[in-house]
A = this chain, B = another copy of it.
Amino acid sequence: MPGHRSITEAEKLAAAKLGGTLIHREQMAVVANIYRAASAVRQHLENSVLRGADLTWTAFVVLWVVWIWGESETRHIAEEAGISKGTLTGVSRTLEGRGLVKRTGHPSDGRLVLLSLTEEGEALMQRLFPEFNQEEAFVASRLSDKECRDVAEGLRQVVRQVEEHGEERRLTLLDGAKPTQRRSGRRAKG
Chain A residues at the B interface, C-beta cutoff of 8 Å:
1-3, 5, 7, 10, 13-14, 17-18, 21, 23-24, 26-44, 47-49, 51-52, 54, 56, 67-69, 76, 79-80, 82, 129-130, 133-143, 145, 147-152, 154-166, 169-170, 173-174, 177, 180, 182-183
Contact = CB atoms under 8 A, between A and B. Distances in A.
Among A47, A67, A177, residue most surrounded by chain B Cβ atoms (within 10 Å): A47
14 contacts: A24-B136, A27-B139, A29-B152, A30-B136, A30-B155, A32-B152, A33-B152, A33-B156, A40-B162, A41-B158, A41-B162, A52-B174, A140-B161, A142-B161
Nearest to A138: B169
